[in-house]
């Protein structure tokens, strides 16, 4: 459970730490706003991807399904700054598919947590394998990390690309190439 009292207390301490007046008009509601914001951006911790992937539809042909350009916002666990971009998810069914919106909902479950991009990529792939049991899944995420662009090394425009494969995608270069070709279309 997200503890809003602790978040409010923590935000007040940060404001004091940077020398702010926590009682000035513009800041008086900020601890409360941030507590509410975290129930949204860390809300995935209280969700289970299974809830979205457990409603399935029978299909006769097991052709590849690709949902691409799923925009997401997540938060990096090292600096608690946003990273954001697009996720692309392909799977080869094993007699069953999920509703298309559930693919994006699965991304949200894992993006709305403190994350590493590599871990986000792997968790999405594992959720598909564990719940939908497809023949294979491939996930690619392209993202900009604001901890790299607005602070530290300050390299605006640099993007991090992560890819993971499970099942038949792991062994088949041909399937991986099909995924990359479909992304370009
Ligand atoms: N692998 C990985 N690294 C990340 C991710 N998000 C942020 N990072 C990196 O986490 C690292 C943390 O490095 P540290 O040296 O502990 O922290 P820091 O002193 O703030 O590092 P700098 O960003 O280089 O200033 C940095 O290199 C970030 O670029 C991510 O999703 N995956
Ligand atoms: Zn970071």
Strand partners, 87: 70, 141
| Ligand 1: residue whose CA is nearest its atom 30 | 116
- The reported pTM is 0.95
ipTM: 0.87
Q: Per residue in 106-135, pLDDT tens?
A: 999 999 999 999 999 999 999 999 999 999
Q: Residues near 87 by Cβ (< 8 Å), separated by ≥ 6? A: 70, 72, 107, 124, 139, 140, 141
DSSP secondary-structure letter at 47?
-
Task: Please name the residue ranges forming H helices in the chain.
Answer: 4-17, 30-41, 50-53, 100-111, 117-132, 146-149, 168-171, 173-184
Q: Per residue in 69-80, pLDDT tens?
A: 999 999 999 999
Is the CB of 145 within 6 Å of ligand 1? yes
Tell me if residue 52 is catalytic.
Answer: no
Q: How many CA atoms lie within 13 A of 29 on its CB side?
A: 5
Q: Per residue in 25-61, pLDDT tens?
A: 999 999 999 999 999 999 999 999 999 999 999 999 9
Complete domains list, the chain, with CATH:
4-41 (1.10.286.10), 54-184 (3.30.1130.10)
Ligand 1 mutation pick, 87, 147, 156, 163, max ligand atoms within 8 A of CB: 147
């Amino acid at each position: 459970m997200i503890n809003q009292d602790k978040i409010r207390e923590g935000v007040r301490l940060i404001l004091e730490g940077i020398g702010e007046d926590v009682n000035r008009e513009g800041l008086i509601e900020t601890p409360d706003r941030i507590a509410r914001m975290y129930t949204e951006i860390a809300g995935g911790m209280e969700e289970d991807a299974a809830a979205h992937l457990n409603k399935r539809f029978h299909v006769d042909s097991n052709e590849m399904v690709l949902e691409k350009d799923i925009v997401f916002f997540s938060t990096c666990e090292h600096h608690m700054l946003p990273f954001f971009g697009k996720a692309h998810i392909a799977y080869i069914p094993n007699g069953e598919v999920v509703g298309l919106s559930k693919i994006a909902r699965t991304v949200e479950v894992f993006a709305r947590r403190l994350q590493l991009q590599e871990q986000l990529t792997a968790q999405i792939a594992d959720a598909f394998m564990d719940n939908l049991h497809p023949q294979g899944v491939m996930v690619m995420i392209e993202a900009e990390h604001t901890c790299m662009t607005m602070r530290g090394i300050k390299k605006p425009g640099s993007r991090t690309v992560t890819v993971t494969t499970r099942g038949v995608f792991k062994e088949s270069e041909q399937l991986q190439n099909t995924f990359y070709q479909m992304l370009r279309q």
